[in-house]
Amino acid sequence: MAVKNNYNDLAGLPAQYQTFYLDIIQYIPKQRVFIDPVITYAYGVDASLYRMTPKIVIKARTIKEVSSLIKQAAQQKISLTFRAAGTSLCGQSLTDSVLVIISEGWQNYSINNNGEQITLQPGIIGSAANVYLKPYSRKIGPDPASIDHAMIGGMAANNASGMCCGTSDNSYKTVEDMKLVFSDGSVLNTADKDSCQEWKQTHTKLIEEIETLRDEIQGDSDLKALISQKFKIKNTTGYSLNAFVDYYDPFDVLKHLLIGSEGTLALITEITYRTIIDHKYKASALMIFPDMKTACLAVMNLYRPLVSAAELLDRIALRSVEDWSGVPSYIKTLPGKAAGLLVEIRAENNDDLYKKIGEVKAKLADINNLRPIEFTDVKAEYERLWKIRAGIFPAVGGIRDLGTTVIIEDVAFPKDTLADAVMTLRECMDKHGYGDGIIYGHALDGNVHFVFTQSFSSEEDKNRYKVFIEDICRFVVEQYNGSLKAEHGTGRNMAPFVEFEWGKKAYKMMKRLKKAFDPDNILNPDVIITENGNLFIENIKAMPPTQDIINKCIECGYCEVNCPSHNFTFSPRQRIASQREIARLKLTGENPALLKRFEEEYEFLGEETCAADGLCQLTCPVSINTGDFTKYERSLKVTPKTENAANFINNHFSGVSTAMKLGLTGANAAHTIVGTTAMEYITKKLRKASDGKIPRWTKWMPKSGSTPVHKLTEADRNKPKVVYYPSCVTRMMGPAKYDYDQRQLNEVMISLMEKAGYAVILPDNMDKYCCGMPFESEGYFKIADQMSAKLEKLLLECSHDGEYPVLCDTSPCVYRMKKVMDKKLKIYDTVDFIHDCLLDKLSIKKLPETVMIHVTCSARKMGLLEKFKAIAEACAQKVIIPEKVHCCGFAGDKGFKIPALNESALEHLNEAIPAGCTHGYSNSRTCEVGLAAKSGICYQSIAYLVDECAE
């Protein structure tokens, strides 16, 4: 984190926290310990309806650090809350004390027994674990809708289940072993007999209490029967008391107790899962019924393993996504009470798949439906259906009224009561004024989610919510003997109702558990066990309107996986949360000094270090592009003076380009004269002396580029034509001194096109033109549009009004050109053109090499990842696309100005580069500079690889 942790902020902390801070920075680098109120506020946000601001935020990276932290906290009676991704929905990852982030640095894994076991650290995203297991045709059991964003630590701590895993494949049922850190700082590895023996000797009282509770439960037939009955359906309310029924050995009991304990008993720093088969053959059907009751009755005819999942969707849920791309058009025409059932079937072979499809249709033959039941086994089609289902909760946030909070509740009923229970739920929602709320969920398991929006601006609003939740609890428990929390965990949301669901005897057992594991109540207090009956209506987050681009955000955190700055400064979620706090402080006027601090610090944390790449939009369920918001913010800072300077560049672009080339030529000459080591030393000193105003220099700094000159010949008359517009970036920046191929990119592009039989048309006076992308990034929208308009006119002329395709060699430029220019222009990126127009015309000789590929953010947004991969695989024996690298963070010129952004974004690049790999390829010159500087290997345009292989 580049922002200084101001030592004077200590004065704002209570005395015991000041001491704690000064102690822990002795063994955790100060750069990973934050007390700045703006930063701690931003890290305090999670996906729930609550908000609390930690006093201290710590990014712990090792078990040793965690152990030391817990020991320190225990000595000073300071509570700790551990968090991975912060996608939890019930407030279990919030605190006003010390928040410990365990994501970066916690991403190791190992696979054993031919994929039948996988050991994972808590910072690994759930879907990444399945990527690791894919070669073995296996996967982990839990499959929550948030699997592409939630991390293993939270999935295990909450016993997250999902759409297909039911109660048979969740973390509780598939856990093999764990590595744990307890409230005294001790560490236990349950897979290690010596560790177990040593820990048992030093924790005799805890082992004895586990055994005593086990024996009491086993000896109490009524309590044992209650526990067995409660866990026949999904249940994450309270602790996993079924561990005392299902297991005898205290260590088996212990590790199953930790599943679903939400960080209140110990921290899971490693978990080993028994994996399950990832069936190759799948088919899905979206069935439509006249009403919810009929859909529920249909579910009651289905069961596992005949079907893997059956997802209930009421009409309001379907309406929330009916405008999405890929949603069947008939959804819009459904009557008001219609309901959907999304069913998936899996099998080990195609014959079994279609046999099951036939059985399902037979089971539902007597159920009235609005459309014929049609299954699809086309992967793209059924994945689209499940993507729609996964996005329903966040999509509700996109259509809510401004200032309201999105709330999701999560209950389960015995399946034979599902139809009546869902009808009662609907009546309850309507009765309390939540008629627009959505009902959907994992109907095969009797697990129902209901989502509604609520303003908490008045006491009347809070009381309405309070009475509604209390009413829900009564009918779920007393009328249907259901679970108040099926899979989202208890959190702060249902902690006041754990005793109501379980009864005094079982709840007393849970309190004894908490006391035995955490006698000083320092691990995530008030979560699961609380004495505060009003906890569920306290600390509810404010959602004041701030700006149209970002107002729809529900702070789910799905954006963070793609953000290049989220481990450096702020993520999109944190940017938006900070903007909301700025808006709230302005509205209330309550703390002018804090408002000023937020505004001042946001400039760097939020605005300057935002790459504005827009990748956040790809995983945002409501399509928010926080990069667009950043550009808007930058546009507000445009002054007549800065606009005049930008206009000067616009009007004298050719001269500015020449000056840039001269600068690069001079830098290269100095590099040649003094050598790399001396050049790096001198430029570092100069950059430091200028307080970062002088750009970073590396040995991969490009030499001067060139503007190509190429005339059509008589022989070109009958050839297919293509207009080639080298971007201003590639005209200014040539290869670096250490690049493998020293040709200018335009030479390579022309060579490729001519090999494929194209006649290349180059626009005249190209040095005058630019697509405007750099100006748009900095908020100069008017000038950017002027520049793109001039270029558009030129390209229309050169292409005979769009008759010929137009090729540009820099993907960010192409992205803007496609967005703003006349649709008559058929504009291609390098990757698009090579894949669609060149490969089939070239004779490619594959190289016996392993190459790295970096798909730029703009190429990803244009959907070019698979084409990029296909080109590389046609040319090289092995292709590596680093899974943990998305945007490189170079962001035009930020890689020169704020190199730490680029370095943070590429933190995991080098670990993905195999031994002996010396070449990397991309399709943006500036990105290639940053990639080479980080990796130490040459990165150039993918065109270089193709031209080398093309005969």
730 with 745: CB under 8 angstroms?
yes
Q: State how far the alpha carbon of 262 is from the alpha carbons of 83, 88, 245, 329, 937, in Å.
A: 10, 10, 20, 41, 43
Q: How far apart are CA 219 and CA 213, in angstroms?
A: 10
Give CA–CA dist 945/847, Å, rounded.
Answer: 9
Instruction: Scan for tokens 């020991």, then name that residue.
Output: 71
* Rounded (to 5) percent helix, strand, coil in the chain: 45, 15, 40
* DSSP SS3 for 83: strand
Residue located via tokens 């002027």: 786
The CA-atom distances, in angstroms, between 388 and each of 323, 382, 385, 474, 495 are: 11, 10, 5, 32, 31
As a whole number of Å, the CA-based R_g of the chain is 30
**Cα distance between residue 758 and residue 752, in whole Å:** 9
Q: CA nearest 306: which of 234, 362, 231?
A: 362
Phi first, then psi, for residue 642 (nearest 5°) are -70, -35
pLDDT recorded at residue 938 = 97
117-173 pLDDT tens trace: 999 999 999 999 999 999 999 999 999 989 999 999 999 999 999 888 889 999 999
Cβ proximity of 728 and 769 under 8 Å: yes
- Whether the pLDDT of residue 623 is over 90: the answer is no
User: How deeply is 581 buried, as exposed, middle or buried, from its count of CB atoms within 10 A (0-12, 13-18, 19+)?
Assistant: buried
Q: What is the pLDDT of residue 681?
A: 64
By the 10 Å C-beta count (0-12 exposed, 13-18 middle, 19+ buried), 650 is classed as buried
Q: What is the pTM of this model?
A: 0.94
Neighbours of 451 (CB within 10 A): 26
Block residue for tokens 């002329």? 797
Alpha carbons 311 and 343: distance in angstroms, whole number: 6
Nearest CA among 319, 302, 297 for reference residue 439:
319
Asked if 720 and 758 count as a contact pair (C-beta separation under 8 A), the reply is yes
**Amino acid, single-letter form, for residue 226:** L
342 and 286 in contact (C-beta within 8 Å)? yes
Dump pLDDT digits (tens) for 406-433: 899 999 999 999 999 999 999 999 999 9
Between residues 231 and 392, which one has the greater pLDDT? Answer: 231
3-class SS of residue 168: coil
> Which residues, including other chains, have CB under 8 Å from residue 42's CB and lie 6 or more apart?
570, 574, 577, 578, 605
Mean pLDDT of 2-14: 68
Q: In this predicted structure, what is the pLDDT of residue 4?
A: 47
Nearest to 124 by CA among 136, 113, 134, 132: 132
d(CA 543, CA 457): 10
Among residues 787, 789, 832, 794, which one has the least CA distance to residue 814?
832
Residue 265 confidence class, pLDDT cut points 50, 70, 90: very high
Distance (Å, whole) CA 94 – CA 872: 45
Please answer whether residues 73 and 95 qualify as being in contact, where contact means their C-beta atoms are separated by less than 8 angstroms: no
* Sign of the four-CA dihedral 505, 511, 513, 515: negative
Banded model confidence at residue 1, pLDDT cuts 50, 70, 90: very low
- SS3 annotation, 790-801: HHHHHHHHHCCC
Only one residue has tokens 């890689």, namely 895
Cα–Cα distance measured from residue 247 to residue 241, given in angstroms and rounded to the nearest whole number: 10
Rounded distance, CA 576 to CA 553, Å?
8
Structure tokens at 873: 């695989």
Mean pLDDT throughout 626-649?
93
The whole-chain average pLDDT of the chain stands at: 94
Cis peptide leading into residue 544 (ω within 30°): no
How does pLDDT run across 807-819, given as a tens digit for each residue? 999 999 999 999 9
**Residue 131 tokens, joined:** 């990527």
pLDDT of residue 394: 67
What is the rounded CA–CA span in Å between residue 143 and residue 165? 6
Calpha distance 812→829 (Å, rounded): 9
pLDDT of residue 951: 86
pLDDT at 2 over 50: no
Taking the alpha carbons at both ends of the chain, their separation in whole angstroms is 49
Rounded Cα distance between 564 and 98, Å, is 25
pLDDT at 3 over 60: no
- What integer pLDDT is reported at residue 767 of this predicted model? 93
Which tens digits make up the pLDDT trace of 16-41?
999 999 999 999 999 999 999 999 99
Judge whether 923 and 810 are in contact, CB under 8 Å. yes
- pLDDT recorded at residue 274: 98
Cβ-based burial of 374 (10 A; exposed 0-12, middle 13-18, buried ≥19): exposed
Residue 829 and residue 813: Cα distance in Å, rounded?
A: 9
Other CB atoms within a 10 A radius of the CB of residue 187 amount to 18
Per-residue pLDDT tens over the stretch 59-116: 999 999 999 999 999 999 999 999 999 999 999 999 999 999 999 999 999 999 999 9
The Cβ-side half-sphere exposure at 944, using a 13 Å CA radius, reads 23
DSSP string, 680-692: HHHHHHHHHHTTT
- Smallest CA-to-CA distance from 646 within 772, 780, 777, 789 is with 780
Q: What torsion, rounded to 10 degrees, do the Cα atoms 101, 102, 104, 109 define?
A: -170
State how far the Cα of 343 lies from the Cα of 443, in Å rounded to an integer.
Answer: 10
Q: How far is Cα 181 from Cα 188, in angstroms, rounded to an integer?
A: 7
Find all residues with CB under 8 Å of 597, minimum gap 6, and list them: 37, 38
Cβ neighbors of 485 (< 8 A, separation 6 or more) are: 90, 235, 236, 237, 410, 411, 491, 493, 494
What's the confidence (pLDDT) of residue 320?
83
Is residue 370 classed as helix, strand or coil in its secondary structure?
Answer: coil
Cα-flanking dihedrals φ and ψ of residue 936, to 5°? Answer: 80, 5
Q: Which of 674, 697, 672 is nearest to 684 (CA)?
A: 697
CA distance 313 to 451: 12
- pLDDT tens digits, 662-707: 777 777 777 777 777 776 667 676 667 767 777 788 899 999 999 9
Query: What percent of the chain has a predicted confidence (pLDDT) above 90?
Result: 85
With contact defined as beta carbons under 8 Å apart, do 722 and 761 qualify?
yes
**Pair of tokens at residue 514:** 């908490």
For the cut 70, the answer to whether the pLDDT of residue 945 exceeds it is yes
Give Cβ neighbours of residue 10 (< 8 Å, ≥ 6 apart).
18, 21, 22, 35
**What is the rounded average pLDDT of the residues 458-467?**
94
Looking at residue 683, its pLDDT comes to 65
823 CB neighbour count, 10 Å cutoff: 8
- Strand, coil or helix: what is 23? helix
Identify which of 482, 484, 514, 479 has the alpha carbon closest to the alpha carbon of residue 496. Answer: 484
Beta strand pairing call for 309-314 and 733-736: unpaired
Please write the tens of the pLDDT for every residue from 560-599.
999 999 999 999 999 999 999 999 999 999 999 999 999 9
pLDDT band at 389 (very low <50, low <70, confident <90, very high): confident
